[in-house]
Amino acid sequence: MTILFSLGIVRGIIWGLASGGVAAGIVMAIRSGLGLPMWSPGPVTGVAALVGTLGFLTGLGAFNYWLEWALGRQKEEHHADQPRWRRYFGFDTNHKTIAIQYMVTSFLVIVVAGIYQLIDRLEVSAPGMQYISPGTYNSLMSLHGIMMLGAVLLGVSGMINYLVPLMIGARDMAFPHLNALSYWVTPPAVLLLLVSLPAGGFDTGWTAYPPLSARAPLGMQFMLLAFYLVGWSSILGSINFLTTIFKMRAPGMGLFRMPIFVWTALSTAILQLIFTQFIAMAFLMVLLERLLGLVFFAPDKGGNVILFQHLFWFYSHPAVYIFVLPGLGVISEVLPVFARKPLFGYAAVALSSLGIAGGGAVVWGHHMFAAGIEDVLRVPFMITTLLVAVPTGVKIFSWLATLWMGKIRLDTPLLFALTAIVVFLVGGITGVPNGIVPTDLHIHDTYWVVAHFHHTLFGGFVFPTMAAVYFWFPKLTGRFLNERVGKLHWAVMTVGFFITYLPMFWLGLNGMRRRIADYDPTLGLGPMNMVATIGGFLIALAMLLFFINLVVSLWRGAPAPANPWRSQTLEWQLSSPPPDENFSAPPRVVGPPYGYGTPGSIHAVVAPAGGTANKGA
Amino acid sequence: MKHVSILALLIALVSTGLVVVFQNAHLTPTVAATQALAVDDLFKLEFSIAAVILSICLVTLVYSIIVFRRRADDEGDGPPIHGHTFLEAIWTLIPLAIVVALAIYGALVLADITRAASSQPELEVKVSASQWSWRFEYPQYGIATSQLELPVNGPVVFKLHGTDVIHSFWVPEWRIKMDAVPGMETVLRITPTKVGKYKLLCAELCGLGHAFMEAPVAVVEEADFLNWVKAQPK
């Protein structure tokens, strides 16, 4: 029992439940003091959730360091004496621990959100209501959306947390305590999302457009609060990423010697820092409208419905690039290693990330072509949207040129990266009819859009994340993932993906609206929907193979050397797994990150744990 | 250069094939309005451009992983090619030109499909969308109904609004859709060109009954339309 209670997470949960309960009691007491009915689900649960989150963080010890500092009693940090597994259940400030916490949380959320959508896919595999009610369908669909987006944000933070300090030769992130805090804000958010369904769910989709969201069931409020917390995590995380990248690079690591992944992390962090506040504000406004009756959007009281959509998409379109840019960075890391060639057009690829981020910041209106925005706004947004295709094209063409004349070995990381390129390419091309107003007016709010954005998210996040896991797992754990299971996983997932999503383009063109629990049997949409459902279950099967591979390889995988792929970037010049403090002395960066093919070219000189400097691969 | 020539030939073959397929496959529903015709022409152009770009990338990718595979015992590196300024300029500028041209063409089509017809007077229909039903008012005739009936080849202007939450007006055979928003009026112009029965679908998630929010649409000869109007209660 003492061991249990010494775990940060257990103390956090106890504190969280207790403080949430006390807060609920106080709100009810105040309400009865004011002569209001004591129980009102919105205000009571809302305050309890926020206070409970603070209580959870306090119990966990998230604020201890700052408290001690404020009281003038700075404590010595000590975790080296703890057994390894315990750090994952407490407030640990090592960026590698936090990265793994992020990734594991992300995968857990993906499993839940995936199961939600499998249920919905079963329901729409044929016309007619067969298994669930339309209300349940809408709630599962809405939660699938928001939970997957949360999971992607967590996954992106995980990858950036693990890789950026190692790749730039830093010992940790710039603000380790802030880093741990930005992770630990998210478990309460996940809990709130899980509670949303039993609390009545909500039927607005992840977009939460009012007036619908202003009148949705209580589950809506949990979703809004949860995403508000995830937003905090995002903003705090991005401050850390930016500071780390700008201030903690090893000597010699000029901006144009940074691995491309760091460039994409930089672009992502800029977007997160600038734009996250807008969705937080939009969701907060809906919350205030629901809880206090303030008027922002309610049309019958003088509010403006379209205002929400502008605020929402002002974040949520750039957010798409937050989701995919690090994944595109992973592709750029994997290709040179397995093609044994330098990344083609390094500078252009590096800057294209900033180009995509900058361009992506001014295209939000393309989600609203049919929403009743001013006519004069439609053409400018069409132009900016199409321009984003240019830097995206630069990335894809540069990847293809990297493969050209290379010495390619089709190991699992490369296979996933190749699928990612094809899927992202299809996602990009099918975005063009969405960007051009007249054709968008047909396919907007149909399965075409569903297929398009799942291509961009699978191509920009899911498949690259798989490539990343197969590529860096030996670095994280000192063991290989099983290569044969990996190839099977790749094959099932790639086939399953296309079986699921290619039919959806046709469905969308032919009258299948988004977010419908049922459809007219006379439209002839049944067979293609059945095909898509079968594909969905193939993806689930592939994920199962993946998790089995992860767990089994963790125990029994073949031991991996420090640099199994003969990569030149910094993280591979350390032991697998890397030492707690990464580098015993700052490495010296002396060359480009992908100097393959030039004899004697090295990226950096790394001092071993206790000896003289040795040369990188 | 041998590789480049083979690649160019393969790309030409595959992209021609894909363009032919995309032009001839019936990917969109029946065309039943002048606006749908303009939108479909744009779709066809977009699909052709997509086919060419897809072919260039896919053929290059597949060719590379087949031809440039590493032999099992080969631990060497590829040639140290870091970039090629001319090539990079080409693949920046050509896509730029394509998207600018597409944007201009798209803007022209948009102007075309939103313009009011000048040749004959428009029939005005006020559309109220509510959870979860449609209501149509014909101010010129003083009638209001729950099904939409229109004369063929006559320009119609729909004035849309939502009474509770946001809905969206979509008849797939007419292609273009527009949201019905509470608190404001939006406009959609359609000239139906084909007699027949269609379905109006709500395309914006509007709650529990969203999937079932449909209304019957009939496009009929002008004489039949006038008879139908007379039969409606005032």
Beta bridge partners of B188: B158
Query: Considering CB atoms only, which of B79, B107, B204 is closest to A445?
Result: B204
Residue spans per domain, chain A: 1-92, 93-556
From chain A, the residues in CB contact with B168 under 8 A are 370, 445
Determine whether the interchain pair B29/A215 forms a contact, defined as Cβ–Cβ distance below 8 Å.
Answer: no
- Who's near A205: CB < 8 A, 6+ residues apart? A138, A141, A142, A145, A515, B205
Rounded CA gap, A37 and A48, in Å? 17
Beta bridge partners of B49: none
- Who's near A421: CB < 8 A, 6+ residues apart? A331, A396, A399, A400, A459, B57, B61
CATH architecture of A93-556: Up-down Bundle (1.20)
From chain B, the residues in CB contact with A455 under 8 A are none
Task: Return the CATH fold of B123-231.
Answer: Immunoglobulin-like (2.60.40)
- Burial class (CB within 10 angstroms; exposed 0-12, middle 13-18, buried 19+) of A5: exposed
- Burial class (CB within 10 angstroms; exposed 0-12, middle 13-18, buried 19+) of B122: middle
- Report chain B's terminal Cα–Cα distance, integer Å: 78
Residue where the block lists tokens 């106080």: A26
Helix (H, G, I), strand (E, B) or coil at A615: strand
Q: Tell me whether strands B186-190 and A588-589 are parallel, antiparallel or unpaired.
A: unpaired
Beta bridge partners of B137: B126, B144
Rounded CA gap, A561 and A577, in Å? 9
Look at the alpha carbons of A32, A35, A38, A44 in this order and tell me if their dihedral is positive or negative: negative
Look at the alpha carbons of A581, A585, A586, A591 in this order and tell me if their dihedral is positive or negative: negative
From chain B, the residues in CB contact with A371 under 8 A are 166, 179, 181
CB atoms within 10 A of CB A80: 6
Query: Considering CB atoms only, which of B84, B165, B172 is closest to A510?
Result: B172
Show the CA angle centred on residue A462, arms to residues A461 and A465, nearest 5°.
80
| Mutation choice for B interface testing from A139, A206, A341, A436 by most B CBs within 10 A | A436
Which pLDDT belongs to residue A82?
67
Half-sphere exposure of B107 (CA within 13 A, CB side): 16
Q: How high is the mean pLDDT in each 10-residue block of chain A (617 residues)? A: 79 95 95 91 93 95 90 68 80 95 97 97 94 95 96 97 97 96 96 95 93 93 94 95 96 96 97 94 94 92 93 94 96 97 96 94 95 92 95 96 96 98 97 96 97 97 98 96 97 98 97 95 94 97 97 95 95 94 93 93 81 43
DSSP string, B27-93: -S----BHHHHHHHHHHHHHHHHHHHHHHHHHHHHHHHHHHTBPPTT-----------HHHHHHHHH
Query: Considering CB atoms only, which of A386, A433, A511 is closest to B43?
Result: A433
Look at the alpha carbons of A377, A380, A386, A388 in this order and tell me if their dihedral is positive or negative: negative
Asked if pLDDT for residue B71 goes beyond 90, the answer is no
Q: A464 near A416, Cβ under 8 Å?
A: yes
Determine whether the interchain pair A516/B211 forms a contact, defined as Cβ–Cβ distance below 8 Å.
Answer: yes
Rounded CA gap, A88 and A190, in Å? 17
From chain B, the residues in CB contact with A378 under 8 A are 110
Q: Which phi and psi (to 5°) does residue A546 adopt?
A: -60, -50
What number is the average pLDDT over the span B72-84? 89
Which pLDDT belongs to residue A6?
78
| Mutation choice for A interface testing from B94, B210, B213 by most A CBs within 10 A | B210
Rounded CA gap, A595 and A348, in Å? 17
Residue spans per domain, chain B: 2-67+92-114, 123-231
Which pLDDT belongs to residue A610?
47
Q: Please, which residues 132-161 of chain B have a Cβ atom closer than 8 Å to chain A?
A: none
Look at the alpha carbons of A524, A528, A531, A535 in this order and tell me if their dihedral is positive or negative: negative
Rounded CA gap, B232 and A439, in Å? 36
Q: Please, which residues 68-127 of chain B have a Cβ atom closer than 8 Å to chain A?
A: 68-70, 74, 76-84, 87-88, 91-92, 95-96, 99-100, 102-103, 106-107, 109-110, 113-114
Q: Which string of b and e fits A150-173 if b means at least 16 CB within 10 Å?
A: bbbbbbbbbbbbbbbbbbbbbbbb
Rounded CA gap, A500 and A289, in Å? 39
Q: A160 near A265, Cβ under 8 Å?
A: yes
User: Amino acid identity of B3?
Assistant: H
- Who's near B20: CB < 8 A, 6+ residues apart? none
- Who's near A533: CB < 8 A, 6+ residues apart? A121, A122, A124, A125
- Who's near A592: CB < 8 A, 6+ residues apart? A257, A342, A346, A601, A603, B82
Determine whether the interchain pair A513/B38 forms a contact, defined as Cβ–Cβ distance below 8 Å.
Answer: no
Residue where the block lists tokens 């004035």: B159
Show the CA angle centred on residue A405, arms to residues A403 and A411, nearest 5°.
45
Rounded CA gap, B190 and B155, in Å? 6
Interchain CB contact of A432 with B (< 8 Å): yes
From chain A, the residues in CB contact with B79 under 8 A are 341, 405, 597
Rounded CA gap, A575 and A316, in Å? 39
Closest approach of chain A CAs to the CA of B168, in angstroms? 8
User: What's the token pair of residue B52?
Assistant: 């060419």
Rounded CA gap, A554 and A203, in Å? 40
Rounded CA gap, A485 and A494, in Å? 14
User: What's the token pair of residue A12?
Assistant: 């956090």
Q: A2 near A33, Cβ under 8 Å?
A: no
| Mutation choice for B interface testing from A212, A452, A566 by most B CBs within 10 A | A212
Half-sphere exposure of A265 (CA within 13 A, CB side): 31
Q: A20 near A55, Cβ under 8 Å?
A: yes
- In A217-259, where does DSSP find H-type helix? 219-247
User: What's the token pair of residue A115?
Assistant: 């199961």
Using the 8-state DSSP alphabet, how is residue A197 labeled? T
What is the H or E stretch that residue B123 is in?
strand B123-130
Which pLDDT belongs to residue B75?
86
Q: A158 near A99, Cβ under 8 Å?
A: yes
Half-sphere exposure of A413 (CA within 13 A, CB side): 24
Q: Encode pLDDT of B38-70 as tens digits.
A: 999 999 999 999 999 999 999 999 999 999 999
Rounded CA gap, B168 and B162, in Å? 9
Q: A123 near A191, Cβ under 8 Å?
A: no
